[in-house]
């Protein structure tokens, strides 16, 4: 009986921590393209990428000087597009989500 209670406790703790949580509870990653018109040199994307990667919930961040954009894949349960644009602004680069 004690063993079963212990295993139940471990399973509950794992789900609470997001370890082995059912797929229905996990948010699906989203991707947004940000226009970053203030990129003036080939080193700007490095600063932008690093700023975006520091935002909790960012899975992947890429910045491209040629198109003056940043493409960010993120967990919508952990961050927002507003937080991403704030991160680029704090790094000195205003950005806004690209509209289709």
Residue 70 is part of a domain; what is its CATH number? Answer: 3.30.70.100
Residue 73 lies in a domain: yes
Identify the DSSP state of 24. G
Residue 85, token pair as written in the block: 């644009």
Residues of the chain with pLDDT under 50: 2-11, 13-17, 21-25
Query: What total number of domains does the chain contain?
Result: 1
In-domain check, residue 48: yes
Is 4 inside any structural domain? no
- Answer whether 0.75 is exceeded by the pTM: no
Residue 31 inside a domain? The answer is yes
Task: Say if 17 falls within a structural domain.
Answer: no
Q: Helix (H, G, I), strand (E, B), or coil: what is residue 34?
A: strand
List of long-range contacts for 85-89, beta carbons under 8 Å, 24+ apart: 85/34, 87/51, 87/52, 87/54, 87/55, 88/34, 88/36, 88/48, 88/51, 88/52
The residue range of the domain holding 52 is: 27-97
Token digits of residue 6 = 């212990």
pLDDT of residue 23: 47
Is residue 12 a part of any domain in this protein? no
């Amino acid at each position: 009986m004690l063993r079963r209670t212990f295993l139940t406790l471990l399973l509950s703790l794992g789900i609470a921590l997001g370890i082995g949580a059912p797929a229905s509870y996990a948010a699906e990653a989203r991707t947004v393209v940000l226009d970053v018109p203030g990129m003036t040199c080939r080193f700007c994307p490095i600063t932008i990428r690093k700023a975006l990667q520091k935002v909790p919930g960012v899975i992947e961040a890429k910045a491209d000087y040629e198109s003056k954009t940043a493409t960010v894949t993120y967990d919508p349960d952990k961050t927002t597009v507003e937080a991403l644009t704030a991160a680029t602004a704090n790094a000195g680069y205003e950005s806004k989500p690209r509209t289709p």
